[in-house]
Structures are given as C-alpha cells and as structure tokens.
Amino acid sequence: MTAAFSARPVPGAQIRARDWGWRHAGRGTPAVSALDLDIEAGERVLLLGASGAGKSTLLQAMAGVLGGEEEGDEFGSILLDGRRPADARGRAGLVLQDPDSQIVLARIGDDVAFSAENLGVPRDEIWKRVRWALDAVGLDLPLSSSSSNLSGGQKQRLALAGVLAMRPGLLLLDEPTANLDPAGVREIRDVVDRVVADTAATLVVVEHRVAVWRDVVDRVIVLNPAGGILADGHPDAVLEREGPRLAAAGVWVPGIPPRVAPRPHRVSPGLDLLQAADLSVGRTPFGSKVPSVAASGLDLTLAEGTGTAVTGANGTGKSTLALTLAGLLEPAGGVLRATPTLARGLPPAPIRWKSRSLLTRLGTVFQEPEHQFLAQSVHRELAIGPTALKLGQDEISSRVDDLLQRLRLGHLADANPFTLSGGEKRRLSVATVLATRPQVLLLDEPTFGQDAVTWGELVSLLGELVDGGSSVVTVTHDLALVAAFADHELVLGSATEVRA
C-alpha cells in the first residue's frame, strides 16, 4: 500500500510572479515589492534574504493564505499553475515557522487526516495518505498518539506530514528546522530531500543556514529588502559570484563567517555573582504540587566578566535552568545563592526578590520574544525597565535612544513590537533587557532564526557585555555562538559541572 502510493508522483506546480508586491495593513513600506519570478515544476529552491526581506510573506502568498483586503494591499500578480493561489487550495502545502501553532487536532492520525478531509478526499484514501505521510516523514507512532506530547522535531515532522497528506505539487517550508538541535536539523533536511524526490513536487524552502540545504536544492533565490531579487541561480554560482554581497545582506554564506567585533580587552573573571550547588530544576505541571525535574545535580558558578553557554539536546532542561538562574522559577532542589556582590543587601535566594530588584541584577531574554513585550511601541517598550527603576527622564531617553541606534531599531521606534519581523523582535527583546544594565544576563536561544548580520551584532554585543564585566549566560543549539563567545560550556544531559 505504502509503496504503491509513493510510486505515484504528483505533477510539480509552477509559480509566476509579475511585478508582485504586498504591503501589510498599517505599514508604510511594502514587505515585498517589484518581484518578477518564475519557478518551474520540480525545481528545488532555497529562498534567502536578510531579516525582514519578506521571505515569509512570499511563501504565504504562494500558499494563498495572505488574506484579503483587510490584511493588506496586493500589487501585480502571482499565479500558481496559472491560477490565483487562494483558488488552488491543496496545490501548495505550507509548513509555517512555529510547529506548535499548526497542530489542529489532538491525535496525530486525525491531525494528518485534517488536510485531506478539507480537500474532499474519500475516506479510504485519507487513511492510506495518512499512513504514507507519517511513514514518509519517519514519525513512527500509533495514529492515536497525542499530538501535544511530541518533541520539537516530532512536531515538525507532524506538521510536514499534515501538508504531505494533501499531495501538494508545491511544498513551501518556512524555516523547517526551527529550534531543533543539530541532529534534528539534519534529520528534517533528509526527510524533505527524500519526500521531494519521491513526489516530484516543487520545493521552496526559507532558511538562513545555506550550508544545511545547499546539496538539497538546485536553485538559490535571494530577495532584496529594497524590492525585487538580489541574486538568482545555481547554488554554487550564486554563492561564488554573490557570496560577499549576500553575506553583507545577512545571508549565511558557507566560507564567509559573519563579522564579529574583535575583543581586544578580554577581562579576567571578577567576583562571583551566582552559585549553584547540586541544583535541580523543574517546572510544576498544572494541577500538581510536585515539580517534574528536568535536570539535577548541577554545580555552577557565574562570575563577573565571563560568558557561559548552556548546551544539550532538546528536552534536557536548558530553558528550565535559565529560568531558575534568573530568579523566575523556584529551584526543585539543591542550593542557588546570590553572592553579596549581586544580592547587594537582599536575601541570597533570587526567587525571593521583588520583580523590580531583578532588573539591575538578573536580566532574562526569553525564547519567545512575544511573551516579554508589554507596550504599544518599540520606544515605550524600551522605556519600561528604566521607568520601573524610577530613573530620571533624561537618563531614560538617553538609554532608549542609545539602544535604538545600537540595535538598528531607530526606524521602528513607533512600530508595535508585535508587528516586527522575527529578527527585529529578537533585537528588541535583547534591547529591553540591556536598558536596565543587569549584572547577569540570561538569554534563551538568542541567535535562533537570525540572519548573519544580526548574528554578528548579537555576538559582538554579548562579547562587549562580558568584557564590560557582566556575566552572560546563553542557552543555545548554535555551535558557532558557543565557539565565538563562550568561556565555558555546560552540556546538559551529560557532564554537569562547570566552573565559570
């Protein structure tokens, strides 16, 4: 059954865009403009561009889900097999960035079946497609398994299977390796490679990391943030000819590492700030009194002027550790104490401190930037921390203006934080924490999904903070970040001792 199914290829879909553009409602400048583009059936395209160049917008347009007039203004035309994409439901299958937000039903079999049901596929064939799709993505679980308890990589596979069950002629993937550990990234890449080979579908994938997809695709298209296309052609040719220009535009080009500011004044570690001994961390599930421990037996010291990276596979408790160190989660066991240098008169357990006392001591950048946004504009967002510290008006504006300029957010000062692109949101979330100058800075996946330019800026900034005497901790899968910034690495799920 499975074999008979995969042997039946789907005719690949074709895309024609003519002077196409899209402006989101309420924004002055278009997300995409003046785009002329032909993608032929069966092509495998890697779509690149700087943060905010409109890659996601273009993918959604090809899938026909950008919405109507109240969502924004459309210019020119974009056609999928000669029809408007919204009229060709099922021809294009789009996997969105956040796999959590696209699970519709509670059981994995039902969730995969959902798309086929919508296309009016007969019942018998739906279940054949479901089994084929789950098999194709290698999600080897019973159809009745819960879709909520999956790991990040499994959720990504499930999202892909749901789209494959439509048997799309065009597969659109928006950063499909989102937040996966390096092993998970390779797995998903191989799954996509195999599925596209089996179905003969056209593929368009958006990813910052060229190296991962280079051998899977046969064409690279680079969007120009100012409109139109910056480069287009065979991966090797585009990267060789346009490599330096692409790198400057924020694309991760193999062989051209992002520019990171040199650190001429490396400081030696200063006084200890935070000490953990035999620390266990865990979250308390809803309706339970006992925390479920995510990691235990952790010994760790954070000192002034050091950079620490916390790494380890998905699900080893990295984020939970960061929240605990940040004074936001009660330790599940063991000891976490702030030294007098950090506590400055407060009791040693950070979880006992007032929210306002955390601001100048422990700063946290959350994995999901949207969780930490509180204001209606970027400018006011940055002023929240300094205002809570009761700083003078002049001091507040000077800090805010300085950060707006340093993190290239000046042109967005009046924009609503929720409307920013992924990279801009990340820069803003880091800036909000820097505004109160905490002694310890904890960042959860700060470089995830960032283009090379933003990456270089973030790494330079973190280095500068460390050399300025801060203690900086990052939770990350990003090996390049670890190499570029960390003085110490704590690998969870294996050795648990670090001296920093």
Partner 1 sequence: MSALLPEIQDSAIARVNPVAKLAVAVFLSVTLLLSIDVVSASVALLLVGILLFWSGLDARQFWMRTAPLWLAAPFAGLTTVLYGEDSGAVLFEWGLISVTEGSLTLGLSITLRVLAIGLPSIVLFATTDPTDLADGLAQVLRLPARFVLGGLAGVRMIGLFLDDWRALGQARRARGVGDSHALVRLGTQAFALLVLAIRRGSKLATAMEAKGFGSDIARTWARPSRFGVAEVVLIGIGIGIAGVSVAAAVYAGTWSFILDRS
d(CA 395, CA 405): 16
Least Å distance between CB 116 and partner 1?
7
Residue 63 or 486: which CB sits closer to partner 1?
A: 63
Is the CB of 91 or the CB of 488 nearer to partner 1?
A: 91
Minimum distance between the CB of residue 445 and partner 1, rounded to whole angstroms? Answer: 14
Q: Which is nearer to partner 1, 148 or 405 (CB)?
A: 148
DSSP class of residue 345 equals: T
**DSSP code for 209:** B
Q: How far is the CB of 379 from partner 1 (least distance, A)?
A: 16
Comparing CB distances to partner 1, the nearer of 42 and 363 is: 363
Helices (H), 165-303: 182-199, 210-213, 235-248
Q: How far is the CB of 328 from partner 1 (least distance, A)?
A: 4
Beta strands 202-206 and 170-174 are: parallel
> CB within 8 A of 41, min separation 6: which ones?
11, 12, 13, 14, 169, 202
> For residue 11, what is the DSSP state?
P
Q: How far is the CB of 4 from partner 1 (least distance, A)?
A: 20
Nearer to partner 1, 229 or 328 (CB): 328
CB 244, min distance to partner 1, A: 36
Query: Any residues with CB less than 8 A from the CB of 160 and at least 6 apart, and which?
Result: 95, 137, 173, 176, 188, 191, 192, 195
- Give the DSSP letter of residue 95: E
- For 411, the token pair is 């042109």
Report the nearest approach of partner 1 to the CB of residue 361 (Å): 11
Q: What is the 3-state secondary structure (H, E, C) of 379-446?
A: HHHHHHHHHHCCCCHHHHHHHHHHHHHHCCCHHHCCCCHHHCCHHHHHHHHHHHHHCCCCCEEEEECC
Residues 6+ apart with CB under 8 A from 215: none
Asked if 371 and 340 count as a contact pair (C-beta separation under 8 A), the reply is no
Which residues of the shown chain bind partner 1 in the complex (CB under 8 A)? 60, 63, 65, 89-90, 93-94, 96, 98, 100-107, 110, 113-123, 126-127, 130, 146, 148, 162-163, 166, 283, 285-288, 323, 326-329, 354-356, 358-359, 362-364, 366, 368, 370-372, 374, 384-385, 388-389, 418, 432-433, 436
42, 200 Cβ separation under 8 angstroms: yes
Query: Which is closer to partner 1, CB of 105 or CB of 226?
Result: 105
Radius of gyration, CA atoms only, the chain: 24
- In whole angstroms, how close is the CB of 436 to partner 1 at the nearest point? 7
By the 8 A CB rule, do 74 and 444 touch? no
Considering beta carbons, is residue 362 or 500 the nearer one to partner 1? 362
Q: Rounded distance, CA 193 to CA 183, Å?
A: 16
The nearer residue to partner 1, 127 or 182, going by C-beta atoms, is 127
Query: Which one, 269 or 317, has the nearer CB to partner 1?
Result: 317
Least separation in angstroms between residue 265's CB and partner 1 is 29
